[in-house]
Each structure stands twice: as structure tokens, then as C-alpha cells.
């Protein structure tokens, strides 16, 4: 369930737009003719150091023949005439801030704001020339590199904001000299290292914001020197250990955000005798355990409290603790692993509650319950609810409703659609079978996201509101042709109709989506006919139509989908040549053509495949033929290096990271069939060309794909020897070369592949001794069967004199295999559910459509 922050993003963004436009109106007030010529020259030169793509923004008004103190973004000291303030926020500056920039001649500046520009480059050390600076704002400037330690020379600095940049390394210790600093904002700046101890020297600090970086380690145990701290926000890092008691003892503290870290242990907040000022306490998504401290009830000023994912170890939680917190507006208690059953009526005394998340807690909801109605966000997922909660009907301010994963049966009540501002409705994973009311009951509401997946809904297919951006009805019992009505939803970004029983062909009108749709999933229906040639659009990132009966060719219009990352058409009746033109899709990461009737060569002179981002290539069980040149795999760089690939598809307007829309693909690794969802894709790299008629040598360039985890070339007509370059695939876990016509020896180097848990060389014409090596020797003899010339353990044929050694190898091998199996299982557990926390940020920064929107949101949450 998405967190508060993500859900309120839209609202935040709107506020921000309003506040930005206000700001633009207030600057540039002083206007006496005081401008000093050398400063005017410096400013004009500064303006010319950048290029402007669209328009010049504030600097447009800067002309040599006017007074520079009257220019937009400039303020002068009325007495001395010096330029003291330069505010060029969001002024379309493109280009680096050079170390010899004329900016540094403006010695009297005390405020410099270059936020929201494109200064691609480093912060030059000469920034310390501006020695009277008090406020320095460089947020969202595409800055990188190290933060210069010369910053420590800006001894007048009170406000420093370097948020939303891609710096490298730690915050320099020299910040410990900034002893006038009151506000420090370093949100999402890619900073790492331990908590900067230098900050403890800065006793004037009121605001520390280090959210969404890569800080780690424990917080210092004595933080009492920060005696004026009001805001302490460090969520979205990897801080660990216990939270120091001294933090709670800071009397001025109002806002404490420690969410999404690795803090552990029971929480001690000490004796709260004097009235606490604490209004915001976010502790969610850590590893806290033990009882919820009773003393929380004394934090009577609390407005927001998040304890989600607190592990009570199936213990009891005394929910009356929260009843004392009468000012609460946000209460997140989801996934606390408690066996306590909570009567929701308990919360009816919290008159201001606007955001309530009790997901994962067993709830008792009395049908006559009436809650105060300022609720805007309500998440009651997995609460063992059996009846549609009637109190929701009077929640007229509700924007967000998640009652997924409960046991509600029957029809969705008609009144739900009448709630005036409800945008997000998630009723997935229940047992609804229909909608109460007339056919157009949903259509007349203004929904943006609707998830009705995993129920037992049947026809008639509902008429949907045109405002929808996200719709999923996967895993239901809808049938018949896909209604053309759906093409009226021209704002749709994600459409998921998978796992129903739709038949007929794909409506041609899907071309209506050509300016919006980024995810289309029709998997596992009975859709037939050819894929329409009409373009589904330039925004498509993920197209999944596997497990249907689609015939004919892949539509060439996909060439224009340059954002396509994921293409899965497995298990259909496609009958086409290999789509060489896919090489023109620079972002393609996953290509699955498995189990169709694709045919012909997969190599063509002059159309060599270079897939820089491809990670999963599965063309198995088709009718491909031909020989592959030895450099076939050169240029498949995502499989040859471990550069992190950022998966951009999952980001949606109100969703969270990969918890939101899961693409899936079936893979076989080490003989296990598995389905990868969500973040599993990010690390998985595999090639499967099995079950075709490809012939000739295995290309030696296969050895370049060092990140490969699964390689399956079985059941083809490969000849020649096994290339020793395979031994470079040090991450390989599964190798299948069976059922070919390979000859020669198994290269002894393969014995060194320590992760290779499953291999199969059977049904070839291999000969010579099976190589030594714990993994290879732990295989079943069937992995080597039907190779007339192979000998040595685990086969019964001896090669002469080596048998004793082999027996010893076997013992080692068995133990090793057990270890492997265990590590494999834990790895699978690790990534299958999708790493919910942490992921979001990277995704957000990469989201293209809502790029600006997301950055802003990100900055504020």
C-alpha cells in the first residue's frame, strides 16, 4: 500500500506550483539607480556563460542600458548599491558553473539561488569566494562530483540547500565550521557514508534534512548538542542500530522522520514529563520490534504518526495508546504483525483523522459504525473485512480507498461511485462478482485509478469513466470481445486485462491510445486474429500479450515505440521472420518470443543485433534456423557489465515503485520454473534459444556476457566444440547445451564456475574426461548421458585411474549442492516479492512523462 507521501503527491505538486508562481511575483523589488558598473558587467557575463534552450527566463530582462538593481532576480543593498541577492531559480540556465565564472566577482552576495537549472557539472571550489553568502540554494541542478570542502569557508552561511543532485561520496567534514548554519537540506543528493559527525558541531541547526540518500551506520549516541533542532528528517537511507534516546530529549523537536531505514530494536523514547512539541513522528518501514512504547500516548501534540512495519512478533498492541493523541491527522499502523483484533470504533474519537492506514491488522467493523468524516486517504488492505464497510458512504472527502485483499463478496455498492472526490479505488483480491446499479454507474464518476483485479467479476464489462489513467481487471471472469468502449479512455496510461477469458481480436481502435498508453497487458486470454498494424503509440514501455492465440506477424509499427522496454508475446501463433527491426528499439530490455512459429535466421548480414539494454532474450520453441557468427553477442552490453539498469515502467501517478504494476515472465533456472515479477527483472539476465534448429558453432562471443545467469541452447543443431570462453560467465547458475551435436571435450575451465548449480550436456557427441570441480561433479549422471565418448565421474565409464579422486570429489560436491540450494532459495525469496522500500526513488527520477512532477514531489516528501 502506497505511503501517505506518494498519495499526496498530486496535492503537494499543486501547492508547489502555486507557491512557485508566488515566488516569481515577489522577487525584484528594489529599484534605485545604484547598480555598480563592474557588477553589472559581471552579471551580463554570467548570463552569457549559459545557453538557453527555450527562453531566457529571468535573465531576459538583463540589458546593459538599464539599472541592474532593477533586473529580475537581483536585489541590491539600498545603502551601498552592491548586488546582494541573485535569485535565478528555474531560469533555464544550461551549462556548468565554471570555476572562473564571473559570478564569483559578485563578492557582496549574501543570497544565491540557482535551483531548478541545468548546471550539469561540479560545484567549483571557488564558490568559497562568495564569502558573505548566507543562503545558498542549488537544488535540482544536475550537479555531480564531490561537494567541495571549501564550502566550509562560507562562515556566514545560514541556509544551505543542495537537494536533488547526483553528488558522489560524503559530505565534507569542513561543514563543521559553518557554525551559523541553521538549515541544511540535502534531500536525494546521492550522499553516502556515516552520519556526518561534523553536524554535531553546529548548535544553531534547526533543520536537518538528509532524506533519500545512501547514508548508513548508527546515529551518534549523544545528539544533545543539536539543542535547537526542530526538524530532523533522515528517511530513505540505511541507518541502522537503535535510535538514540538523546534525540527524543531535544526539547525543540517538532518533526522527526526516521522512516524507511534499518533501525532495529525496541524503541526507547524516555520519560516525557514536560509537554512535548513533537508533531510528526515517522518510524515506519524499519525493523523496530517489541512492544509499542506506552509513553507514545504522552506525545499529545502529535499530528502524524507512522509505525508501519513495526514487528510486534505476533504480540498484542494496546490501541488505546493512540486515543490520547487527539490532534492526529495521519495514523499509519499497517503491517505491525500483531494478532490483536481492533474494533475500528475505537478511532471514532479522533476527530481530525484524514489519513488512516491499518492494512494488515484484523479489524472489527460494526455495520452501524460512524467515523468522523475528514478522511481523505483510507487503506484497509488485508484487514479480514468480510462486508463492504458502510461508514465509507459518509466519507465525502475520500480521495483514496484501498480495501484490497479482504474477503468481501457480492456486488460493489452503487454509493461508492457517488463519493465526489474519490480518485483511487483498489478493491482487488476480494470476491466481488458484479456492480450494483445501472450499467453506467462507474462511468459517471471521476476516477483516475481503478484496480478490480483478482475478483470473480463477470460480464457485463463495466462502462468506465473517461478520466481513468490506470485500469486493471486482471484475474477475473470477463469474457467475449474486448469492448471498443475502452478506446474512449484516451488518458489511459496502464491497461491490464490479463487472465480473463476475452476472445476475438485486438480492437484496431487501440491506436487511440497513441499518446498516452505505456503499459498494455492482455496476457492469458483467448485473443486471436492478427495484431493490428495501427500504432499503439510512442509511449508504450511494456507490451505483454503472451498466452493467447494471436497469429500473423509482429506489427512493424512497434518500431516507433522507442521507449519499449518489455515485449512478451510468448505462447501464441505468431508466424513471422525474426523481427530484426527490433534492434532499433534502444531501450528494449526483455524480449520473449517463446513458443510461437517464428522462423528463419536470427542473424542477417547488415542487420547485426546490438541490444545495449537487453537482459532477457527468450526465443525458445520456435522454428529458427541458420548459423550464428562468432561475434553475435558483441554489443549486448547489459549482459556483459553490471551497470545498474533503472526500470522505469513501474512509476505511475499515485503508485509506488514496483509494488504497483508487476510485469511477469516465466523462466527456468536450474530446472525450476519460476515467474519473475517486479524487481526480479532488474537483476535477471538470461538467454534461451532452445528448441529451434540453429546450427553451426556456438559463438565464442557468448563469453562476453559475464552477467548471464541462465544460458539455454539445448535442442538445436549446434556443432563443433563447447567454447572455453563459457568459463568467463562467472555468474552462470544454469547451463543447458543438451540435445545438440557438440563434439570434443568439455572445457576443463568450466569446473571453476562456482555458481553453476545445474548443467546439462546430454545427448551430444562429447568425449574425454568430465572436468574436475565441485559443481560439475555434483551433477546427476543424466546430465552427461548419451555422449558416447565421455568418461569419469559421475558417469560409470572410467577414464582410467581417476576413480578414487572422483569419489572424494563427490562427497564435497553433495555438501556444496545443499549450500547452493539454500542460497538459491533465499535469493528467490529476496527478490520475488519485489523490494518495496527504497526502490521508488530511483524510479521516480527516471520517470519521463511525469519527470518534472515527480522530482518536485520527491523533493518534498
- Contacting positions for ligand NAG (CB under 6 A): 41, 44-45, 53, 64, 94-95, 98, 100, 102, 111, 118, 120, 128, 134-135, 142, 144, 149-150, 152-153, 158-159, 166, 168-169, 174, 176-177, 179, 182-183, 190, 192, 198, 201, 222, 224-225, 381, 404-405, 426, 428-429, 449, 451, 470, 511-512, 514-515, 535, 538, 556-557, 559-560, 655, 659-660
Question: Which residue, 553 or 696, is less far from ligand NAG as judged by CB?
Answer: 553
Residue 95 carries which DSSP code? Answer: S
Q: How far is the CB of 94 from ligand NAG (least distance, A)?
A: 5
Q: Which is nearer to ligand NAG, 98 or 693 (CB)?
A: 98
Residue 485, SS3 per DSSP:
helix
Nearest approach, Cβ of 233 to ligand NAG (angstroms)? 16
Residue closer to ligand NAG by CB (options 268, 811) is: 268
- The C-alpha cell at 354 is 484524514
Beta-carbon neighbour count of residue 776 at 10 Å? 24
In the complex, the smallest distance separating the C-beta of residue 668 from ligand NAG, rounded to whole angstroms, is 26
Nearer to ligand NAG among residue 27 and residue 717 (C-beta): 27
Distance separating alpha carbons of residues 209 and 163, to the nearest angstrom: 9
Minimum CB–partner distance for residue 560 and ligand NAG (Å): 4
Sign of the dihedral defined by the CA atoms of residues 55, 58, 64, 65, in that order: positive
Quote the least distance from Cβ 405 to ligand NAG, whole Å. 5
- Closest by CA position to 380, among listed 369, 366, 367, 365: 365
CB of 786 to ligand NAG, least distance (A): 46
Nearest distance from residue 228's CB to ligand NAG, in Å? 13
Nearer residue to ligand NAG within complex by CB, 172 or 720: 172
* Minimum distance of ligand NAG from residue 618's CB (angstroms): 24
Shortest Cβ 731–ligand NAG spacing (Å)? 21
Residues in the chain: 861
* Cα–Cα distance, 71 to 729 (Å, whole number): 62
Cβ closer to ligand NAG: 100 or 604?
A: 100
Q: Which is nearer to ligand NAG, 190 or 743 (CB)?
A: 190
- By beta carbon distance, the residue nearest ligand NAG is 176
Give how far Cα 50 sits from Cα of 53, 108, 661, Å.
10, 22, 41
How far from each other are the two terminal CA atoms of the chain, in whole angstroms? 16
- By beta-carbon proximity to ligand NAG, the closer residue of 194 and 556 is 556
Residue (171 or 776) nearer to ligand NAG, CB? 171
C-beta of 405 vs 713, nearer to ligand NAG? 405
Cα–Cα distances (Å) from 384 to 162, 388, 432, in that order, read 45, 11, 15
Which grid coordinates are listed for 614?
Answer: 537487453
The string over 425-450, giving b where at least 16 C-beta atoms fall within 10 Å of a residue's C-beta and e elsewhere, is: bbbbbbebeebebeeebbbebebbbb
For the CB of residue 550, give the shortest distance to ligand NAG in the complex, in Å: 18
| Burial zone of 809 (CB within 10 Å; 0-12 exposed, 13-18 middle, 19+ buried) | buried
Provide the sign of the torsion angle of the four alpha carbons 347, 348, 349, 350, taken in this order.
positive
C-alpha to C-alpha distances, 503 to 479, 500, 529, 532, 595, nearest whole angstrom: 7, 9, 10, 15, 20
- The whole-angstrom separation of Cα 782 and Cα 736 is 12
**Closer to ligand NAG by Cβ: residue 44 or 122:** 44
Query: CB of 793 within 8 A of CB of 810?
Result: yes
Least distance CB 848 / ligand NAG (angstroms): 11
CA distance 770 to 758: 15
Report CA 460 to chain centroid distance, whole Å.
35
User: Comparing C-alpha atoms, which of 547, 692, 694, 685 is closest to residue 620?
Assistant: 692
Amino acid at each position: 500500500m502506497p505511503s501517505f507521501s506518494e498519495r499526496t503527491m498530486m496535492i503537494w505538486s499543486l501547492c508547489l506550483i502555486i507557491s512557485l508562481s508566488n515566488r516569481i511575483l515577489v522577487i525584484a523589488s528594489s529599484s534605485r539607480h545604484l547598480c555598480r558598473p563592474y557588477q553589472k558587467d559581471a552579471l551580463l557575463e554570467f548570463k552569457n556563460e549559459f545557453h538557453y534552450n527555450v527562453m531566457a527566463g529571468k535573465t531576459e530582462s538583463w540589458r546593459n542600458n538599464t539599472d541592474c538593481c532593477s533586473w529580475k532576480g537581483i536585489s541590491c543593498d539600498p545603502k551601498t548599491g552592491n548586488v546582494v541577492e541573485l535569485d535565478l531559480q528555474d531560469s533555464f540556465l544550461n551549462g556548468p558553473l565554471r570555476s572562473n565564472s564571473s559570478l564569483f566577482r559578485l563578492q557582496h552576495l549574501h543570497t544565491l539561488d540557482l535551483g531548478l537549472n541545468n548546471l550539469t557539472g561540479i560545484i567549483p571550489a571557488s564558490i568559497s569566494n562568495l564569502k558573505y553568502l548566507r543562503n545558498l540554494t542549488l537544488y535540482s541542478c544536475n550537479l555531480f562530483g564531490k561537494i567541495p570542502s571549501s564550502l566550509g569557508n562560507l562562515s556566514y552561511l545560514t541556509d544551505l540547500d543542495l537537494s536533488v543532485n547526483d553528488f558522489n561520496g560524503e559530505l565534507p567534514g569542513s561543514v563543521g565550521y559553518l557554525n551559523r548554519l541553521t538549515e541544511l537540506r540535502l534531500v536525494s543528493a546521492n550522499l553516502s557514508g556515516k552520519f556526518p559527525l561534523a553536524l554535531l558541531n553546529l548548535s544553531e541547526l534547526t533543520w536537518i534534512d538528509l532524506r533519500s540518500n545512501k547514508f548508513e551506520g548508527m546515529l551518534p549516541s549523544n545528539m544533545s548538542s543539536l539543542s535547537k533542532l526542530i526538524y530532523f528528517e533522515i528517511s530513505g537511507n540505511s541507518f541502522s542500530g537503535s535510535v538514540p534516546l538523546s534525540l527524543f530529549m531535544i526539547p525543540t523537536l517538532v518533526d522527526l522522520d526516521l522512516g524507511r531505514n534499518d533501525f532495529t530494536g525496541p524503541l526507547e523514547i524516555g520519560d516525557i514529563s514536560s509537554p512535548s512539541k513533537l508533531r510528526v513522528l515517522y518510524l515506519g518501514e524499519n525493523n523496530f520490534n517489541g512492544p509499542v512504547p506506552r509513553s507514545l500516548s504522552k506525545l499529545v501534540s502529535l499530528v502524524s504518526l507512522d509505525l508501519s512495519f513495526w514487528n510486534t512478533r505476533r504480540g498484542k498492541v494496546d490501541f488505546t495508546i493512540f486515543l490520547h493523541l487527539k490532534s492526529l491527522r495521519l495514523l499509519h499502523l499497517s503491517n505491525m504483525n500483531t494478532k490483536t483484533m481492533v474494533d475500528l470504533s475505537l478511532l471514532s474519537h479522533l476527530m481530525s483523522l484524514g489519513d488512516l492506514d491499518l492494512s494488515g491488522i484484523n479489524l472489527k467493523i460494526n455495520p452501524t459504525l460512524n467515523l468522523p468524516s475528514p478522511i481523505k486517504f483510507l487503506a484497509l488492505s488485508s484487514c479480514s473485512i468480510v462486508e463492504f464497510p458502510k461508514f465509507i458512504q459518509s466519507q465525502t472527502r475520500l480521495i483514496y480507498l484501498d480495501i484490497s485483499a479482504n474477503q468481501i463478496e457480492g456486488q460493489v455498492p452503487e454509493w461508492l461511485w457517488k463519493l465526489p472526490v474519490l480518485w483511487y479505488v483498489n478493491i482487488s483480491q476480494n470476491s466481488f462478482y458484479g456492480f450494483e446499479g445501472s450499467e453506467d454507474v462507474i462511468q459517471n464518476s471521476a476516477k483516475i485509478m481503478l484496480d478490480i483485479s483478482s475478483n470473480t467479476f463477470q460480464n457485463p464489462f463495466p462502462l468506465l469513466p473517461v478520466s481513468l489513467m490506470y485500469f486493471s481487471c486482471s484475474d477475473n471472469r470477463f469474457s467475449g470481445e474486448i469492448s471498443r468502449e475502452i478506446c474512449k479512455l484516451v488518458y489511459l496510461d496502464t491497461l491490464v486485462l490479463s487472465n480473463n477469458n476475452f476472445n476475438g481480436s485486438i480492437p484496431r481502435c487501440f491506436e487511440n491510445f497513441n499518446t498516452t498508453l505505456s503499459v498494455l497487458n492482455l496476457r492469458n486470454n483467448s485473443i486471436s486474429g492478427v495484431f493490428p498494424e495501427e500504432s499503439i503509440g510512442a509511449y508504450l514501455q511494456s507490451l505483454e500479450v503472451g498466452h493467447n492465440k494471436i497469429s500473423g506477424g509482429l506489427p512493424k509499427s512497434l518500431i516507433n515505440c522507442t521507449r519499449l522496454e518489455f515485449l512478451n508475446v510468448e505462447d501464441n501463433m505468431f508466424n513471422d521472420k525474426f523481427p530484426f527491426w527490433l534492434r532499433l528499439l534502444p531501450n528494449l530490455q526483455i524480449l520473449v518470443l517463446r513458443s510461437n512459429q517464428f522462423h528463419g535466421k536470427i542473424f542477417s548480414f547488415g542487420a547485426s543485433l546490438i541490444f545495449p539494454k537487453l537482459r532477457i532474450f527468450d526465443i525458445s520453441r520456435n522454428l529458427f534456423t541458420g548459423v550464428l557468427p562468432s561475434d553475435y553477442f558483441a554489443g549486448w552490453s547489459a549482459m556483459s557489465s553490471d551497470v545498474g539498469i533503472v526500470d522505469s515502467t513501474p512509476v505511475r501517478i499515485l503508485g509506488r515503485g514496483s509494488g504497483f504494476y508487476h510485469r511477469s515472465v516465466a523462466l527456468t533456472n536450474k530446472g525450476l520454473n519460476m515467474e519473475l515479477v517486479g524487481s526480479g527483472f532488474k537483476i535477471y539476465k538470461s538467454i534461451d534459444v532452445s528448441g529451434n534448429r540453429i546450427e553451426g558453432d556456438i559463438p565464442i562471443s557468448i563469453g562476453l556476457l559475464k552477467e548471464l545467469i541462465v544460458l539455454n541452447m539445448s535442442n538445436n543443431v549446434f556443432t563443433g566444440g563447447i567454447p572455453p570462453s563459457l568459463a568467463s560467465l562467472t555468474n552462470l547458475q544454469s547451463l543447458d547445451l543438451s540435445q545438440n551435436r557438440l563434439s570434443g571435450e568439455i572445457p576443463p575451465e568450466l569446473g571453476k564456475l562456482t555458481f553453476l548449480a545445474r548443467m546439462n550436456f546430454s545427448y551430444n557427441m562429447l568425449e574425454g574426461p568430465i572436468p574436475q570441480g565441485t559443481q560439475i561433479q555434483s551433477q546427476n549422471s543424466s546430465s552427461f548421458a548419451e555422449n558416447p565418448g565421455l568418461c569419469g565421474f559421475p558417469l560409470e565409464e572410467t577414464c582410467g585411474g581417476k576413480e578414487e579422486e572422483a569419489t572424494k570429489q563427490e562427497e564435497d560436491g553433495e555438501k556444496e549442492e545443499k549450500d547452493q540450494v539454500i542460497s538459491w532459495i533465499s535469493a528467490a525469496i529476496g527478490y520475488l516479492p519485489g523490494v518495496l522500500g527504497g526502490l521508488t526513488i530511483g524510479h521516480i527520477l527516471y520517470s519521463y512523462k511525469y519527470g518534472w512532477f515527480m522530482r518536485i514531489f520527491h523533493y518534498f516528501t
